[in-house]
Amino acid sequence: MTDRVMTRNRVRRARAVEAIAKFVMGACLLFAAGMTVAIIGIIIYRGAPSISWAFLSQMPKHQMTAGGIWPAIWGTLMLTLGTALFAVPVGIGAGIYLSEYARRGAGTRLVRLSIANMAGVPSIVYGLFGFSLFVVALKFGTSLISGALTLACLTLPVIIGATEEALRQVPQDLRQASLALGATKLRTTLRVVLPAAAPGIVTGSILGLSRAAGETAPIIFTAVAFFAPLPKTPLDPVMALPYHLYIMATQAVKPAPTVVWGTAFVLVAGVTTAGVLAAAWRSRQRSRIRW
């Protein structure tokens, strides 16, 4: 065979291999994306019919077989609000401190690395911590505040990480220009760098908070009850959507399937709407900023 024929065959074979490889990999991508679509689709299909104003605004009746899930929605909102109150200021402040002010050395690097890795610690460990500290040791009991504080500890590394990442993206030129114009470091940080990093920080915080809203393990023993009226003080237990769903999926006497899937729908809709809006806002901001 001539060289030319051999090369042509080799090329043909390589192209065939490439086509097969692309097909297999594309199929894998389709599987991954398809799973997401299927999950969302099933939840919408089975949950949307349950959604009505009555469902969203009433108390549960007849042991969860009828009525609505209002106290669970309220509880989740309150928990998330409490989490935000504690985690966002401290998280952003810590992120600024670690990124702009702390001494650049191995010690600081270790601290920052450790904080970032706290985000990967299982949520049940945070639940264990929160239970022993807030519920038992500080005697807050199973309450809104115990749950919010526990979730805040969970969310803190996420917000700190998002803040640091956003601050890191701001070019040094901006800081140096501000300093050159005579501003102090504090002014530079607060008036120039922080606003520039704001989209990333806000988005990261919202994503972190929506993750906290969907968490079940940390609140099982720190905040929730199976059945409770709306909390009158932060020291009262609350109902919450993720826990409500967990109980109905595993324990309650024959809850109406409509209630189960409706709760899943509300939870997913709430959590993902926040996340999607945040991500969309961030990409819009990003496309506007030109360094």
Contacts to other proteins from residues 68-97, by CB under 8 A: 70, 74, 78, 81-82, 84-85, 88-94, 96-97
Please name the amino acid found at residue 135: V
Q: How many residues does the chain have?
A: 291
Q: Does 251 bind other proteins (CB under 8 A)?
A: yes
The answer to whether the Cα torsion of 286, 288, 290, 291 is positive or negative is negative
Give, as ranges, the residues between 206 and 235 that touch other proteins (CB under 8 A): 207, 210-211, 213-217, 220-221, 224-234
**Contacting other proteins (CB under 8 A), which of 1, 5, 180, 253?**
253
CB of 190 to other proteins, least distance (A): 6
Instruction: Give the one residue of 39, 48, 54, 138 binding other proteins; rule: CB under 8 A.
Output: 39
For other proteins, the closer of residues 2 and 232 by Cβ is 232
Of 216, 79, 201, the C-alpha closest to 152 is 79
| Under 8 Å between Cβ of 286 and 199 | yes
- Give the one residue of 120, 172, 287, 291 binding other proteins; rule: CB under 8 A: 120
Touching other proteins, residues 42-61 (CB under 8 A): 42-43, 58-59, 61
With CB under 8 A as the contact rule, the residue among 6, 48, 177, 186 that binds other proteins is 186
What contacts 189, CB < 8 A, 6 or more positions away? 96, 100
Tell me which residues in 126-165 interact with other proteins (CB under 8 A).
126-129, 131-133, 135-137, 139, 141-142, 153, 156-157, 160
Residue 61: in which H helix or E strand, if any?
strand 60-61
Number of shown-chain residues binding other proteins (CB under 8 A): 131
Alpha-carbon distance of 97 to 111, in angstroms, equals 12
Smallest distance, Å, CB 161 to other proteins?
11
State yes or no: residue 183 binds other proteins (CB under 8 A).
Answer: no
Q: Shortest Cβ distance from residue 71 to other proteins (Å)?
A: 8
| CA atoms of 210 and 268, how far apart (whole Å) | 10
Give the integer Cα–Cα distance in Å for 48 and 93. 40
At which residue do the structure tokens 């809850």 appear? 255
Nearer to other proteins, 110 or 176 (CB): 110
Q: Which two tokens stand for residue 82?
A: 């409490």
Within 13 Å of residue 187, how many CA atoms lie on the same side as its CB? 9
From 48-56, 109-117, 167-175, give the range in contact with other proteins by CB under 8 A: 109-117
